[in-house]
């Protein structure tokens, strides 16, 4: 029964093979002269046994082909995996040291990070990790339910319009709700994460190893930049808000270029893709640095009683930074993998 489920057309193929031989016997029987009737009948009768044997062989070969399993790909060696982890840790540590030496020559002069700033920053990072975990799990569930295929076959303008409306609407609603209203606040924050998961679910078509590498690299980049922003001098990088907003506008417009620029303008599309990829990495890296210092500034204002302590609003910015850097990391790694082939 298992063979029939694997090869449901095996029986029809066998009957087709047998039927291709049977008409030849019938035609030879009718075309033979009357004097040779007995000899032809004997020859056809004796040849029926090889015909049945041939059909049985075809039937067995068909099932044998269906039973053969595909060769499993070789699993990576433990030494190779350990080497990759060592390389990743080395890259992460080197990135932290290099960025710290380059951008953090002037450290804090107030004796280090106060406890209330550290508590507020840790609370924000905890909510950021929880939100990214919700996005990953929801994106996987939507992908297995078939949502990714429906999203990819929809109109690009419709996806962009509905996606922007859902993301911006749920984000503004989350920020507008007071942190004292826990249930509406976390409900809208969950809705925001679900909209991000719905838009990111088609990425689940890619290889899990590629997504894991991109996530590791994104974590390293954001971790090193966050370390620089947390240990730098107070309000040192808050002046970057205006230039980063201008750069973000350029990156956003370059991402929309494939929708409005014709396919014949290959050079324009190539430069717009580079601006979207590498310019986006630089812009969102700077935005991460600016967000971390803004979180510390809000912690000082909350300590003075000027604003309310709200880690959910702070984590939304870091989630968007992570998502945008992660998407570009996935595309860059995918391009490198295609070049190797």
Q: Is residue 97 part of a domain?
A: no
CA dihedral sign of residues 216, 219, 222, 226: negative
Residues 6 or more apart whose CB falls under 8 angstroms from that of 301 comprise 307
pLDDT, residue 269, reads: 81
What is the H or E stretch that residue 287 is in? helix 280-304
Structural Rg of the chain based on CA atoms: 32
138-156: pLDDT as tens digits: 999 999 998 888 888 888 7
Domain encompassing residue 327: 104-340
Q: How far is CA 336 from the centre of its chain?
A: 16
In the chain, the number of structural domains is 1
Query: How far is Cα 221 from Cα 226, in angstroms, rounded to an integer?
Result: 8
Q: Is the pTM of this model over 0.85?
A: no
Number of Cβ within a 10 Å radius of residue 3: 13
Asked if residue 231 is part of any domain, the answer here is yes
Q: What is the mean pLDDT of the chain?
A: 76
> Could you give the C-alpha distances from 323 to 23, 179, 193, 282, in angstroms and in order?
66, 24, 11, 14
204 domain residue, yes or no: yes
Look at residue 20 and tell me if it is in a domain: no
Q: Is 185 exposed, middle or buried (0-12, 13-18, 19+ CB in 10 A)?
A: buried
pLDDT tens, 61-116? 443 433 343 344 444 455 665 666 666 666 556 655 555 555 554 555 555 678 88
pLDDT tens-digit series, residues 302-325: 999 899 999 999 999 999 999 999
In a domain? residue 83:
no
Residue 78 lies in a domain: no
| Burial grade of 315 (CB within 10 A; 0-12, 13-18, 19 or more) | buried
């Amino acid at each position: 029964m298992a063979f029939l489920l694997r090869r449901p057309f095996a029986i029809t193929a066998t009957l087709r093979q047998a039927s291709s031989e049977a008409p030849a016997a019938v035609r030879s029987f009718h075309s033979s002269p009357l004097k040779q009737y007995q000899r032809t009948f004997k020859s056809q009768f004796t040849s029926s046994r090889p015909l049945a044997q041939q059909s049985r062989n075809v039937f067995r070969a068909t099932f044998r082909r269906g039973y053969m399993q595909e060769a499993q790909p070789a699993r990576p060696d433990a030494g190779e995996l350990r080497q990759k982890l060592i390389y990743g840790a080395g890259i992460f540590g080197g990135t932290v040291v290099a960025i710290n030496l380059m951008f953090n020559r002037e450290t804090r002069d107030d004796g280090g990070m106060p406890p209330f700033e550290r508590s507020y920053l840790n609370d924000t990072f905890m909510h950021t990790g929880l939100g990214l975990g919700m996005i990953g799990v929801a994106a996987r569930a939507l992908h297995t339910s078939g949502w990714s295929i429906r999203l990819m076959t929809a109109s690009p303008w419709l996806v962009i319009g509905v996606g922007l409306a859902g993301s911006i609407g749920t984000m503004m609603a989350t920020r507008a709700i007071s942190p004292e209203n826990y249930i509406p606040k976390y409900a809208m924050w969950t809705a925001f994460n679900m909209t991000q998961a719905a838009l990111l679910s088609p990425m689940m078509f890619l290889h899990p190893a590629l997504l894991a590498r991109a996530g590791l690299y994104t974590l390293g980049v954001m971790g090193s930049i966050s370390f620089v922003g947390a240990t730098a001098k107070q309000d040192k990088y808050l002046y970057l808000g205006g230039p980063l907003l201008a750069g973000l506008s350029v990156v956003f417009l370059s991402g929309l270029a494939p929708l409005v620029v014709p396919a014949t303008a290959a050079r324009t599309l190539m430069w717009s893709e580079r601006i979207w990829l590498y310019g986006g990495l630089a812009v969102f890296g700077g935005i991460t640095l600016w967000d971390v210092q803004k979180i510390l500034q809000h912690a000082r204002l909350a300590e003075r009683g000027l604003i309310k302590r709200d880690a959910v609003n702070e984590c939304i910015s870091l989630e968007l930074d992570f998502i945008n850097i992660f998407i570009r990391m996935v595309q860059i790694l995918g391009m490198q993998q295609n070049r190797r082939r």
